[in-house]
Structure 1
């Protein structure tokens, strides 16, 4: 059985305008995911801690929030 290989440009060119818009958005999301530098859990947690402190979260407030029922 012969299989025809279809390339992404061929699919894009034959798609409707709305399908092209959706494909473009999908490709953009995929490329941004690939290009984004990966961060470690420690880096993410450190950033979260810094932002929480900038917004006024103190160790005392955090402790009281953790022990609320």
Structure 2
């Protein structure tokens, strides 16, 4: 069962998210979900291992650092 979580973000990030393709939006959602799942069990994961897992998953889903940077600076 999925539930919605509201997270305060800057207007720039919200705009970039909604301007992204549905596929990229799904990748971002997966990225956040993985991050929260990893943080839910902090005794099992160091911050470095969480960051590495997020990076690996994002890259596996096609969200490269270049794409992420472009999304974050779409309105610049």
Report the TM-score range of the alignment, normalised by the length of the smaller protein: 0.3 to 0.5
TM-score by length of 1: 0.42
When Rg is computed on C-alpha atoms for both structures, the one with the higher figure is 1
Structure with higher RCO (Cα < 8 A, 6+ apart): 2
TM-score, scaled relative to structure 2: 0.38
